[in-house]
A = this chain, B = another copy of it.
């Protein structure tokens, strides 16, 4: 859950944040096929343009054929191999504006966290001027986004429910956090996660699991987020430690991701995220994998969480890559440590205001060298 950092501002304010929720949600096997009737009233005179952004792994699949697109629509296939970037969002928004005679009536994102984040950002940018980089931050968006619909095909990121869209910008990786960011409609069809490669399924699921362990063990949480986090954590344990049917497993992981995303409202991540940001900054490690790589070494801080995590790894025969920092230079490690150590609210959430006396830069180095 990449956006957790972003609530620093809210958490440090003196009053609880007024949190926007997804306005409509449909859950269930086959619910993807309701997309057509969801779009119908938005299209108005049947000439409204819908933009579909879909992960290109679905090119020429059955799902591709089920997209209810009309002649005037734009269907854009996008690779999720790289993280979403502000320039990519700007290019997409420009492409849409160029190719559509009118403002689209809806933007639909179909895919994992990357596609969902892109859809949220593009829905904002087709109706706002300038570059998306100008809106990275908190509540900088002036004009409402176009109606946007999220269709997750991968469970764990929480992007389907959050009020941010995290983008790599020219200067920084930061979310567009705004009341216009959350989806207007989400379709939770667990069948769409059939066929996700095992490693991706596991690492994305761990995004949710590790997030929950960190936030539930932190001091910044309240009863609202705790209840969502506990539900998500319980579902992750069922999915990754018990022997559910494939159908039940898909359904429960989709709900874990949903609730895990909701738990972000009033919570904060901790040590795993602080370290994985440092790692990703230097190595470009994908978020889910990076969290796993650091989390395995955090037994001292999250004993129960790490113990169960190791059980999950064994049960699903997941082998984490070894020694990925082997060829890092002294200066690489210094950068990792610098970035990680700079994540003050995460450390404070995990270890309290005296966190600097509890964990040293040397301890961070030790962990990074083990990875």
Contact = CB atoms under 8 A, between A and B. Distances in A.
A222 B27 CA distance: 9
A17 interface: yes
A15 B34 contact: yes
Contacts of A38: 18
A20 interface: yes
Contacts of A106: none
A30 B248 CA distance: 40
A238 B234 CA distance: 16
B16 A26 contact: yes
A28 B224 contact: yes
| Protomer copies | 2
A322 interface: no
A190 B227 CA distance: 15
A18 B254 CA distance: 16
A261 to B, nearest CB: 13
A252 interface: yes
A231 interface: yes
A234 B230 contact: yes
Interface in A4-32: 15-28, 30-31
A28 B231 contact: no
Nearest to A259: B227
A15 B27 contact: no
Q: Which are the 10 A-B pairs with shortest beta-carbon distances?
A: A16-B28, A223-B251, A27-B224, A18-B26, A231-B231, A227-B255, A21-B21, A16-B31, A20-B24, A16-B26
14 contacts: A15-B31, A15-B34, A16-B30, A19-B26, A27-B223, A27-B224, A28-B266, A223-B252, A223-B254, A223-B255, A227-B231, A227-B255, A230-B231, A230-B234
